[in-house]
Structure 1
Amino acid sequence: MNYRVFLSLGSNIEDRERHLLDALSNIFNISDVCLENISNIYETEPVGYTEQGRFLNMAAQISTSIGAEELLKELLGIEKLLKRERLIRWGPRTIDIDILTYGDLRINMPHLAIPHPRMFERAFVLKPLTDIFEGEELLGINILEALNKCDDKDGVKLYKK
C-alpha cells in the first residue's frame, strides 16, 4: 500500500537553502519513496526559541510503501548526515524534517506523533503546505482557516519559487 505523506522542512544555519535542497535530494534517494511535489521556500521568524536566525521553510509531498517508523528512521539519518544537532529545544538547526501526515494514520508514540501535533498552529508549516495540498481540508480541518488563525502568519514571507 502506498501512503501519501506530507513533510515539513526547515533550516536556519549556514547555507539554509542548500540544506533544504540536500535534504530533498536525500529524501528522493530513500528506497520506496517517490517525491511527488514541493512547495515554494518561505523565510520565517523563529517560533518558540526566538534568539536565533530566520528560517527557510518548505513542504514536500511524497508517496511511500514503507512504514512510518521506518520513514522516521530514514529522515533522522538525513538530519544526522546534514549535521543536525539537538542542543536547544526549537533551537538553531541545519535541517529539521517533520512528518506532518502519513495517509490517514494516527500514531501516538513517545518518538513519533502523526499527525504532527502542532501543524495547524504554525503558519510556517501551513503556508508551504497550501502550495502543494490539493483541497481545502486536511484531516477534517480547513487549512486556510487554520492559517488565518496563526499568530505567526505575518512572519512568513516568500523567499523563492
Structure 2
Amino acid sequence: MRALSILSAAVLLASSVNAGSDPRDCEVCMKVMTDIRDSMPKPDQKEKPKIESAIGAHCANESLPAREKKICYYIDPIKRDVAQPFSLGMTADRLCKRINKNNPEICGVKFPVKTENLEPKDLTKLRVKQLKSILLDRGVECKGCVEKEEFIKKVQETEHLAGSDEF
C-alpha cells in the first residue's frame, strides 16, 4: 500500500514538472501578436475586421525579420480564426497556443539562440537541440556528430559564421 502511494506521488510530481511550459514555446508568435495588438487603438482591438486588416498590415511590412515573416505565412490564411479570440482579449500566449492546436508549426518557430559572448562553459549548458539549431542558422552540418561535446566543438569552430537572423 505504501509503495502504491509513493508511486502515485512520483507520477503526480512528474506530470506537474512536465506541465510547466518551455519559456521559448511560441516565442515568435507571441511577439507578432503583441506587436499587432500594440499597433492598434484600444477600441479597434474588439472588432474582427480591423484585427484582420491589422494582421495583414503587420505582415505586409517588408522589414520584418525572417522568423516573423514565417509566422505571418502561417497566420495570414487563418486570420479570421485568429481574430475571434484576439477580439475577446485573449493573451498572446494563450492565443498562440490555441492556434498551435490546429497548426503545430506555429510554436515550432523560435528565435535563434544568442551565441555572441558565450563562454565555452555556457555552451555546455545548452541542449543538443539548441546546438543543432545554432549550426543550422549558420548553414553548417555536423556530419558524424553524436556526442554533445562534438556539437559544442563545431559551434566553436564556426563562430566566425555567426551572423544576423535574416536568411
Q: Shorter chain as normaliser: what TM range? A: under 0.3
Higher fraction of helix: 2
**Greater CA radius of gyration, 1 or 2?**
2
TM-score (norm 2): 0.26
TM-score (norm 1): 0.27
